[in-house]
Amino acid sequence: MTMEKIALEVAGGIATITFRNPSKLNAWDGQMLEELKAAVGDVAGREDARVLVFTGEGRAFSVGADMNWFTPDPLTHRFRIQARSAHDFFDAIEDLEKPVLAAINGICVGGGLELALSCDIRVAAAGAQFGFPEVNAGIIPGSGGCSRLARLVGVGAAKELILTGEMISATEAKAIGLVNTVIQADQLMVKTREYAEKIMRRGPLAVGMAKQVINTALSVDAATGRALERLAQSILLKTKDAEEGFLAFREKRRPKFSGR
């Protein structure tokens, strides 16, 4: 697919997807969403891409759906079809068996914040701003915003952010656990890549499996979560990576993982 509204770059094991619609604060429409889906699908199957990073061009990470595209349809079943397209994309990010980082360079609201919530780690520039302004338009963050935010920061903080529709700073976002760390803007991509490189030094199969177990365990009872851990561990123990990891530990050296 020819990509006009995003850019995909893969270098040193890190795939970077950049939103390229700065004149509209990286709002997406149907075309951009299809480009994003294609890019994530490409990254999922690439052996040379171990970590995925999302970021934005210009002064925004993303403001989510372009309101000229996302016009409420009077036929509710047609709206649900359109919404499902976005939901499936966010779910694909969350389910990707590779770590996904959001390098949040600026304004991150609405669907842009919902995308960031689908990522595993969120690194924010010091001047970034966050919010769910949907209630100001008489709607709600309905593509995972309510559910993922509450799961991440707790019900009270989620309700405050969503019900007031107000913006918060990167520092405030860090305080409630919405972002993992706050970085000076000129160091954002450098520090995000350092995060990615740190993860890439670990066993890729273990990292992917851990992500899957954590995500699944959040929606099942505790006993089922522990059963998933045992099953995942039993699979990992049979891998070449685990063999190399134990050997490297005994030999007091850094392991050389192969992803096998």
d(CA 140, CA 162): 8
Confidence band for 44, pLDDT divided at 50, 70 and 90: very high
The residues assigned a catalytic role are 114, 134
Average pLDDT on 186-202 reads 95
Confidence band for 165, pLDDT divided at 50, 70 and 90: very high
Lowest pLDDT segment from 14-23, 77-86, 125-134, 220-229 = 77-86
- Quick one: CATH architecture of 204-250? Orthogonal Bundle (1.10)
Residue with tokens 């995500």: 215
The pLDDT value given to residue 66:
82
Residue with tokens 């997807």: 17
Residue 147 CA to its chain's centroid (Å):
15
What is the rounded average pLDDT for all residues in the chain?
92
Average pLDDT on 135-157 reads 93
d(CA 95, CA 109): 22
Listed in sequence order, the residues at least 6 apart from 135 whose beta carbon sits closer than 8 Å to its beta carbon are 162, 163, 164, 165
pTM of the model: 0.92
CATH code linked to domain 6-200: 3.90.226.10
Instruction: Report pLDDT digits (tens) over 61-81.
Output: 999 988 776 665 656 766 777
Q: Which of 236, 208, 194, 259 has the alpha carbon at shortest distance from 99?
A: 208
Whether 109 shows a pLDDT value over 90: the answer reads: yes
Whether 83 shows a pLDDT value over 90: the answer reads: no
Domain ranges of the chain: 6-200, 204-250
The pLDDT value given to residue 170:
97
Percent of the chain at pLDDT exceeding 70: 96
The pLDDT value given to residue 137:
87
Residue 239, helix vs strand vs coil: coil
Residue 246 vs residues 205, 237, 255: alpha-carbon distances, Å: 15, 10, 9
